[in-house]
Amino acid sequence: DIQMTQSPSSLSASVGDRVTITCRASRSISNYLNWYQQKPGKAPNLLISGASTLQSGVPSRFSGSGSGTDFTLTISSLQPEDFATYYCQQSYTTLPLSFGGGTKVEI
Amino acid sequence: QVQLVQSGAEVKKPGASVKVSCETSGYIFTDYYIHWLRQAPGHAPEWMGWIHPNSGATNYAQKFQGRVTMTRDTSITTASMALSRLRSDDTAMYYCARSNLKISDFDFWGQGTLVTVSS
């Protein structure tokens, strides 16, 4: 199984800050890496697929990069609606598909 | 628009079974896998398995083998997930989600179904 490790597990930031979240895979997953945002009481929402492809409707302040084992999600200027938990997920091996432990972005 | 609408919350006793349904609309049902995931409070989502919409073939995470059964009914574009021999640590929000046939990502999710297992 491929293990996904996110850091930090939580962070405090202010509106306007640049925020970076990292995700590391236990072995190379090429660019088969997705990022989701989850707000309390809601299902996860796909932000970025294929490590760097922004989904339709997602603000351009979100960006993703990386390949192999190391990946980052960057929010260039944090907005009030961005306070949420973010998860990475690998789709390189589908048995099983796996998620990182999450990063909670707090004020 | 694409929608996945799940059945309502369930409360079950240990040892019982639960079945959660996922009614889809707004897309061609047979063009996308349906996956089931669960999320315990304060934890990351956990993938349980998928069902191929056309063939009905399934693939389950090893952890759930023998306890989970996924089915679909193409005539009503609905998928279902049954979990048996419930334990207290099965208490979680259960989600259905769709992916393309390459299983690249989960682009649409159901709203979630809370399953509580308690004596």
Dump pLDDT digits (tens) for B37-54: 999 999 999 999 999 999
More confident residue, B45 or A95: B45
DSSP states along B5-39: EEPPPEEE-TT--EEEEEEEESS-GGGSEEEEEEE
User: Contacts of residue A21 in chain B, CB cutoff 8 Å?
Assistant: none
The mean of the pLDDT values for chain A is 96
Instruction: Say whether residue B27 is in contact with chain A using an 8 A CB cutoff.
Output: no
Report the DSSP pairing between strands A45-49 and A98-99: unpaired
Mean pLDDT of A22-47: 97
Are A46 and B110 an interchain contact pair (Cβ–Cβ within 8 Å)?
Answer: no
Best mutation target, B63, B106, B113, B114, to test chain A (most A CBs within 10 A) = B106
pLDDT surpasses 90 at A61:
yes
The predicted model gives B79-105 an average pLDDT of 95
Say if residue B62's pLDDT is above 90. yes
Reported as a pLDDT band with limits 50, 70 and 90, residue B103 is confident
Asked whether the predicted pLDDT for residue A94 surpasses 90, the reply is no
As a whole-number percent, the residues of chain B with pLDDT over 70 amount to 100
Instruction: Band the pLDDT of B104: cuts 50, 70, 90.
Output: confident
Statement: residue A30 has pLDDT above 90: yes
Q: What is the mean pLDDT of residues A36-40?
A: 97
| Nearest chain B residue to A95, by CA | B61
Residue type, A70: D
pLDDT in the model for residue A107? 82
pLDDT single digits (tens) B9-38: 999 999 999 999 999 999 999 999 999 999
Contact assignment for B59 to A102 by CB distance below 8 Å: no
Q: What is the pLDDT of residue A95?
A: 85
Q: In this predicted structure, what is the pLDDT of residue A33?
A: 97
State which residue of chain A sits closest to B114, comparing Cα positions.
A41
Rounded to an integer, the average pLDDT of A31-39 is 97
> Cα distance from A97 to chain B (closest Cα, Å)?
6
Given a cut of 90, is residue B101 above it in pLDDT? no
Stretch 54-113 of chain B: residues touching chain A, C-beta under 8 Å:
59, 61-62, 95, 97, 103-107, 109-112
Q: What is the pLDDT of residue A15?
A: 95
Question: Which pLDDT score is estimated for B66?
Answer: 96
What is the model's pLDDT at position B46?
98
Do B59 and A95 lie within an 8 Å CB cutoff?
yes
